[in-house]
């Protein structure tokens, strides 16, 4: 399964010093993925997204509120192409209800130990061709 994990870009302030670090959240999330997931990571601050590159599933990692709107745009663009999208990360948790309007699934909490079940559910859902709200995924919303 090809999984595209994206860290959206955001506008920097005029006089802000530019620095680009490997972002902690998506890197740790990627390390928690099941072994059969072929993951490609795109930090949009340094790489372009090819919306037409074939993939089964897209994850959007959003740490900052400043990233949220771009994250939703990316989610909308992939979903318009029929690709399922899951949002996660700190700012997704802060803006969870609005994020639900743009993603097939909103993941709350930490990824460690939970990705096997999420990806098993994804395979089940796509094999059943259920395309609307993914109720089975509600169990991934941890109380935090």
Binding site for ligand B12 (CB under 6 A): 21-26, 28-29, 59, 61, 63-66, 86, 88-91, 94, 107, 110-112
Of the pair 54, 113, the CB lying nearest ligand B12 is at 113
Of 124, 60, 121, the closest CA to residue 92 belongs to 60
Rounded Cα distance between 82 and 139, Å, is 24
Of the pair 64, 136, the CB lying nearest ligand B12 is at 64
Q: How far is the CB of 36 from ligand B12 (least distance, A)?
A: 17
Of the pair 49, 66, the CB lying nearest ligand B12 is at 66
Question: What is the total residue count of the chain?
Answer: 144
Q: How far is the CB of 134 from ligand B12 (least distance, A)?
A: 13
What are the helix (H) ranges across 2-137? Answer: 24-31, 65-80, 90-94, 96-100, 115-128
Is residue 87 classed as helix, strand or coil in its secondary structure? strand
Q: How far is the CB of 25 from ligand B12 (least distance, A)?
A: 3
């Amino acid at each position: 399964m090809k999984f595209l994990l994206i860290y959206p870009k955001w506008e920097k302030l005029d006089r802000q010093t530019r620095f680009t670090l490997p972002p902690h959240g998506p890197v740790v999330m990627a390390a928690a993925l099941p072994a059969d997931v072929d993951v490609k990571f795109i930090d949009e601050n340094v790489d372009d997204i090819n919306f037409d590159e074939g993939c089964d599933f897209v994850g959007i990692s959003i740490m900052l509120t400043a990233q949220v709107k771009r994250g939703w745009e990316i989610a909308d663009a992939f979903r318009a192409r029929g690709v399922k999208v899951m949002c996660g990360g700190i700012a997704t948790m802060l803006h969870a209800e609005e994020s639900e309007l743009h993603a097939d699934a909103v993941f709350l909490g930490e990824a460690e130990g939970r990705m096997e079940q999420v990806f098993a559910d994804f395979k089940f859902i796509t094999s059943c061709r259920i395309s609307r709200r993914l109720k089975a995924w509600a169990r991934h919303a941890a109380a935090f």
